[in-house]
């Protein structure tokens, strides 16, 4: 049996990180249990569906974004609607 290669399932670019933690940590590995990952995918899907209803030819529609809020002290990730600057 061959060993499975390590890979990612995809990714995306980040528009902003607040506060700027680039000098403190270059990489954050966040490990999420399967059932919690299912909750995260549902939350992301709901947020993306809401954002998709905006008219993207308008200024407001172009600024629509998903905001992932990581509460490190509570070991929680929240999904909220955000706006680009």
pLDDT at 3: 61
Model pTM?
Answer: 0.78
Q: If residue 80 lies in a helix (H) or strand (E), which one and from where to where? A: strand 76-83
Structure tokens at 25: 């940590």
pLDDT digits (tens, 9 = 90+) for 4-16: 556 666 778 888 8
pLDDT at 7: 65
pLDDT at 42: 94
pLDDT digits (tens, 9 = 90+) for 37-77: 999 999 999 999 999 999 999 999 999 999 999 988 899 99
CB 39 within 8 A of CB 46: no
- What domain range includes position 67? 34-83
* 41 lies in some domain: yes
* 23 lies in some domain: no
Residue 64, φ and ψ in degrees, nearest 5: -65, 140
- Closest by CA to 65, choosing from 49, 48, 78, is 48
* 1 lies in some domain: no
* 5 lies in some domain: no
Q: What's the structural domain count of the chain? A: 1
Q: Is the pLDDT of residue 81 over 70?
A: yes
């Amino acid at each position: 049996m061959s060993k499975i290669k390590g890979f990612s399932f995809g990714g995306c670019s980040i528009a902003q990180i607040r506060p700027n933690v680039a000098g403190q940590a270059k990489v954050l590995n966040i490990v999420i249990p399967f059932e919690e990952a299912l909750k995260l995918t549902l939350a992301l899907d709901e947020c993306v569906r809401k954002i998709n209803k905006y008219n993207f030819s308008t200024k407001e529609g172009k600024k629509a974004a998903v905001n992932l809020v990581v509460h490190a002290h509570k070991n929680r990730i929240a999904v909220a609607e955000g706006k680009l600057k």
